[in-house]
Amino acid sequence: MHEFEYANPTTKAQAVALLSDKAGETEVLAGGTDLLSLMKDFIVTPKRVVSLKDVRELKGISFSPSAGLRIGAMATFEELLDSPLVRRNYRSIWQAVEGVTSPQIRNFGTAGGDLCQRPRCWYYRAGFGLLPKDQSGKPLLPDGDNRYHAILGNEGPAYFVSPSSLAPALISLAAKVKILGPKGERTVSAEEFFVTPKVDTDREVALSPQEIVTDIIVPSATAIRNATYEVRQKEALDWPLAAASVAFKLNGRTVEAARITLGHVAPVPWRAKGAEQSLTGKTVSEETALAAGEAAVAAAKPLTGNAYKVQLARIAVKRAILAAAS
């Protein structure tokens, strides 16, 4: 690990002031479950690390009927798991957190850190870059070991999958992300927060080098049926092979409006708008849920080694819909 300065601010403003406007010179330390690994492997080599652990403004979980649920960027997964309110009304968020089975990560991993974590792509983690290419400039992934890579949004140059556990649920629940930088505060939708990089120096999230996530705001979901369903290779700590989060409102027994987001199948959490249209106006049943799953993966373009993900994503959508309805 390279030598670096360690800064420990106590306010959001101090934290932002300590960040460099040059990408890579400074890094933000939340729980450290991802950043420390990246630094040990020399994937990132910051000159300064800015810790947020003592910034009280970034902590906590609260709710008001008018504003909805506020999740501080430094709220831990364990806090989300222990919240009766989250478990009762934001079931899709709670189920996504429950899928992270490591007690260590639950206690140290944070909501903001989960949104900002870097891809788990083994090419990236081995030092080949975010958009790995061979010496001729040809992308390595289409003909390489792409078992766990994207089946949607993979026309190039990005083939990794978004690793965030919370993102599919937050997008389906129409959440917003608050961001603070030297020019003040701004708010973006959770869907707009994630971006597909075009060049290696781009990030996968809509943050400039001098910005931090401060809060996640989720509208009231007391009248919204919602659920997350994830498919993993093992029950021990593992990232999902495919996931689906759904949120819909019923008018009687009919779906009035739906939002469906796939996780771990594209470089960004993937809004399945075809699936949403398929489900809207229908009564939830095995047949309509399966039809929505089919619509969700209609545009999938699997690579040489990951066609199995199409079936996993299809079934994840079906089971998430049925879980939300029940």
Give the pLDDT confidence of 192-215 residue by residue, as tens digits. Answer: 999 999 999 999 999 999 999 999
Which residues are within 8 A (CB) of 122 and not within 5 positions of it... i.e. 6 or more apart?
Answer: 145
Reply yes or no on whether the pLDDT at 236 is more than 80. no
The alpha carbons of the chain give a radius of gyration, in whole angstroms, of 19
**34: alpha, beta or left, given left = phi > 0 and alpha = psi -120 to 50?**
alpha
- Residue 152, both tokens: 């949607």
**C-alpha–C-alpha distance, residues 160 and 92, integer Å:** 24
Amino acid at 267: P
- Residue 137, both tokens: 């400039």
**C-alpha–C-alpha distance, residues 108 and 38, integer Å:** 16
8 Å CB contact between 28 and 17? no
Reply yes or no on whether the pLDDT at 161 is more than 90. yes
Please report, rounded to a whole number, the percentage of residues in the chain having pLDDT higher than 70. Answer: 100
Please report, rounded to a whole number, the percentage of residues in the chain having pLDDT higher than 90. Answer: 94
Cα torsion 271, 322, 228, 266 to 10°: value is -30
Confidence label for 113 from pLDDT (cuts 50, 70 and 90) = very high
Which CATH number is 5-55's, of 3.30.43.10, 3.30.70.260, 3.40.640.10, 3.40.50.720? 3.30.43.10
Q: What is the pTM of this model?
A: 0.96
**C-alpha–C-alpha distance, residues 307 and 28, integer Å:** 36
Task: List, as own/partner pairs, every contact residues 143-146 make where C-beta atoms lie below 8 angstroms and the sequence separation is at least 24, other chains included.
Answer: 143/304, 145/305, 146/303, 146/304, 146/305, 146/306
Reply yes or no on whether the pLDDT at 235 is more than 80. no
- The pLDDT value recorded for residue 323 is 97
Give the pLDDT confidence of 291-315 residue by residue, as tens digits. Answer: 999 999 999 999 999 999 999 999 9
Q: Which of 111, 326, 98, 113 is nearest to 230 (CA)?
A: 98
